[in-house]
Amino acid sequence: MSLFITFEGGEGSGKSLQTRALRRKLNRLGVPVVLVHEPGSTALGERLTRLLKWGKSTDISPLTELMLFNASRVQLLDEIIRPALKAGKIVICDRYTDSTIAYQGYGRKIDIDTIKNIDDIATGALKPDLTVLLDIPISEGFARKTGQEPDRFEKEAQAFHQRVRKGYLKLAAGEPQRWLVIDARLSKEKIKQIIWEKVSDLLTKRIESADKVPNLRLSRW
């Protein structure tokens, strides 16, 4: 009954909150679930996160940035994601390959085909079963982050973040069967409900009998 679910979105979109909410929901139902985030969730990934997001004295080129994100991703896949999927668990990942295309491709303007080729090598072409995009206007997303120290990406100009958002929407439009696009300005509870309706539908299609995970479709937050 393995299922690979990724969450994407710009700054302040509420991804982390919704990934944790979905994990809690699945835990309450007794569904085996693992929550990870990119970059990070492994010892190597956390070290790379500090460098990529908080390194203040290191000038990282866009191509170096691309390679470091993929190095973190390979480790995460080998150490956690693939074993969990093989064991029949649900894997929720806060950011995955689409973040790289959006940020390093559309944002940094690295050739998209180059990114996809590197990604295919890094992931073995492993794609999510579902990608949730929490979409929010740039100014409204950053308004949610007042009082927090900005990381390297948050310090980028608004034009960069506009390109990232447009990139996400273009990716979603190209694969509508995989993406679930949600207006992140909706209430947190409403967003939870929309996500759960989609996830419960996918789970229902995966399980062999209803009594393995009872009342998935009818369960509410």
- Determine contact, residues 134/98, Cβ cutoff 8 Å: no
* Alpha carbon distances (Å) from 104 to 94, 136, 138, 221: 17, 19, 17, 36
- Determine contact, residues 195/132, Cβ cutoff 8 Å: yes
Q: Which helix (H) or strand (E) holds 1?
A: none
Q: Which residue in the block uniquely carries the two structure tokens 């690295």?
A: 110
Grade residue 220 by pLDDT with cuts at 50, 70 and 90. low
Grade residue 85 by pLDDT with cuts at 50, 70 and 90. very high
Residue 220 lies in a domain: no
- Determine contact, residues 54/152, Cβ cutoff 8 Å: yes
C-alpha to C-alpha distance for 50 and 214, rounded to whole angstroms = 42
C-alpha to C-alpha distance for 121 and 170, rounded to whole angstroms = 23
Residue-wise pLDDT tens digits, 142-158: 999 877 788 889 999 99
Q: What is the CATH number of the domain that holds 25?
A: 3.40.50.300
- Share above pLDDT 90 across residues of the chain, in percent, rounded to a whole number: 82
Q: Average pLDDT, whole number, for the chain?
A: 92
Residue 221 lies in a domain: no
What residues have CB less than 8 Å from 35, skipping those under 6 apart? Answer: 19, 20, 23, 92, 93, 94
Tell me how many domains the chain contains.
1
User: Domain range for residue 124?
Assistant: 3-208
- Determine contact, residues 88/213, Cβ cutoff 8 Å: no
Residue-wise pLDDT tens digits, 10-43: 999 999 999 999 999 999 999 999 999 999 999 9
Residue 218 lies in a domain: no
Question: What is the per-residue pLDDT for 210?
Answer: 45
Buried b (16+ CB within 10 A) or exposed e, 22-41: bbebbeeeebebbbbbbbbb
Mean pLDDT across the stretch 204-210? 67
Residue 114 lies in a domain: yes
C-alpha to C-alpha distance for 149 and 155, rounded to whole angstroms = 10
- Determine contact, residues 100/66, Cβ cutoff 8 Å: yes
The structure's pTM equals 0.91
Q: Which of 89, 92, 110 is nearest to 31 (CA)?
A: 89
Give the HSE-up count for residue 45: Cα atoms under 13 Å, Cβ half-sphere.
19
